[in-house]
C-alpha cells in the first residue's frame, strides 16, 4: 500500500475549529450546495503559488468559483491527442458541463514559474532544459512570450512575462472549439488579470490596448 500518514495535528485541530464555527454557522448553505449541485458562474485559472488567493480577493464563497491551478496559470493549446490533459479537462468541464459565463485567467507578481521560464530562456537554468523537467517542459508554453519581450531590466521583463503568461493562456483558450463557440455566441466572457502580492493590487487586461490597467 502507498505509505500514507495521518494528517499533522495542526490541520486536524484547524479542521475541527472550522467545523464548529464557519461550517456550523452556514450549515444550510452547505446543505443546499450538496442538494442542488454546484452552479459556479466563473472559472478561475490561477497559479499554484500559495500566495494567490482568488477566493479571498473576490470575497467568494463555496460554490462560486470553479478553480483550476497550475504552474504559472498557463493554458496549453487544444491538443486532442488522446493523452492526459488536466488543464484542458478542467476547462472542458467548466465550459461545456457547468456552462460558466466568465473565465478569468489570474496571473501574479513574483511568479516562480515565470521566473523559471525567464531564466531558462536566458540560458541560466540548464536543469529546466532537461527533457525530464516537468516544470521546464510546461514552461515551454511561454517561450514565445519570452521572445516578444522588449528591452528592460530583468525585473521589468519578468513582470512583462507574467502578463505574457496571461495573454498566452487567453490566446490558447480560443483554440478550444467549445470555448470559441461560447465566446462568439456571447455565452462566455474571457478575462485576464494580474495580482500584485505585496501591494494587494489587481490589474485587468484592456482588450483595446492589450495593456494591463489597475482595476
Ligand atoms: Zn506563480
Q: At what angle do helices 154-173 and 112-121 cross, to 10 degrees?
A: 110
- Going from the Cα of 138 to the center of ligand 1, the distance in angstroms, rounded, reads 13
Question: Cα separation of 82 and 74, whole Å?
Answer: 20
Percentage helix, strand, coil, to 5, in the chain? 45, 15, 35
Question: Cα separation of 148 and 75, whole Å?
Answer: 18
pLDDT, residue 89, reads 98
- Going from the Cα of 51 to the center of ligand 1, the distance in angstroms, rounded, reads 9
Residues, CB-to-ion distance under 5 Å, ligand 1: 47, 49, 111, 113
Question: pTM for the full model?
Answer: 0.96
Q: Percent of the chain at pLDDT above 70? A: 100
The enclosing H or E element of 88 equals helix 86-92
pLDDT, residue 109, reads 98
pLDDT in tens, the chain (215 residues): 999 999 999 999 999 999 999 999 999 999 999 999 999 999 999 999 999 999 999 999 999 999 999 999 999 999 999 999 999 999 999 999 999 999 999 999 999 999 999 999 999 999 999 999 999 999 999 999 999 999 999 999 999 999 999 999 999 999 999 999 999 999 999 999 999 999 999 999 999 999 999 99
For residue 1 the three cell numbers come to: 500500500
pLDDT, residue 114, reads 98
Check: CB of residue 73 under 8 Å from CB of residue 47: yes
- Going from the Cα of 70 to the center of ligand 1, the distance in angstroms, rounded, reads 8
pLDDT, residue 189, reads 98
Beta carbons within 8 Å of 45's beta carbon, 6+ residues apart: 67, 68, 69, 70, 73, 75, 87, 90, 91, 103, 104, 105, 106, 169
**Using alpha carbons only, what angle is made at residue 80 by residues 77 and 82, rounded to the nearest 5 degrees?**
130
Question: Cα separation of 30 and 137, whole Å?
Answer: 40
- Going from the Cα of 49 to the center of ligand 1, the distance in angstroms, rounded, reads 5
Kindly report the backbone phi and psi dihedral angles of residue 213, in degrees, each rounded to the nearest multiple of 5, phi listed first: -120, 145
For residue 114 the three cell numbers come to: 515565470
Question: Cα separation of 173 and 103, whole Å?
Answer: 10
Amino acid at each position: 500500500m502507498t505509505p500514507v500518514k495521518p494528517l499533522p495535528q495542526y490541520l486536524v485541530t484547524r479542521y475541527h475549529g472550522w467545523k464548529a464555527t464557519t461550517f456550523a454557522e452556514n450549515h444550510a448553505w452547505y446543505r443546499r450546495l450538496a442538494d442542488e449541485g454546484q452552479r459556479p458562474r466563473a472559472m478561475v485559472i490561477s497559479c499554484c503559488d500559495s500566495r494567490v488567493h482568488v477566493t479571498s480577493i473576490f470575497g467568494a464563497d463555496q460554490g462560486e468559483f470553479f478553480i483550476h491551478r497550475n504552474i504559472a496559470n498557463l493554458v496549453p493549446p487544444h491538443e486532442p491527442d488522446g493523452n492526459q490533459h488536466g488543464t484542458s479537462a478542467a476547462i472542458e468541464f467548466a465550459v461545456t458541463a457547468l456552462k460558466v459565463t466568465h473565465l478569468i485567467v489570474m496571473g501574479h507578481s513574483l511568479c516562480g514559474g515565470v521566473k523559471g521560464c525567464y531564466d531558462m530562456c536566458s540560458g541560466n537554468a540548464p536543469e529546466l532544459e532537461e527533457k525530464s523537467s516537468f516544470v521546464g517542459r510546461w514552461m515551454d508554453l511561454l517561450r514565445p512570450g519570452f521572445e516578444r519581450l522588449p528591452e528592460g531590466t530583468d525585473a521589468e521583463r519578468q513582470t512583462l512575462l507574467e502578463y505574457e503568461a496571461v495573454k498566452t493562456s487567453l490566446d490558447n483558450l480560443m483554440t478550444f472549439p467549445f470555448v470559441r463557440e461560447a465566446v462568439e455566441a456571447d455565452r462566455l466572457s474571457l478575462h485576464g488579470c494580474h495580482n500584485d502580492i505585496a501591494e494587494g493590487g489587481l490589474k485587468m487586461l484592456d482588450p483595446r490596448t492589450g495593456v494591463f490597467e489597475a482595476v
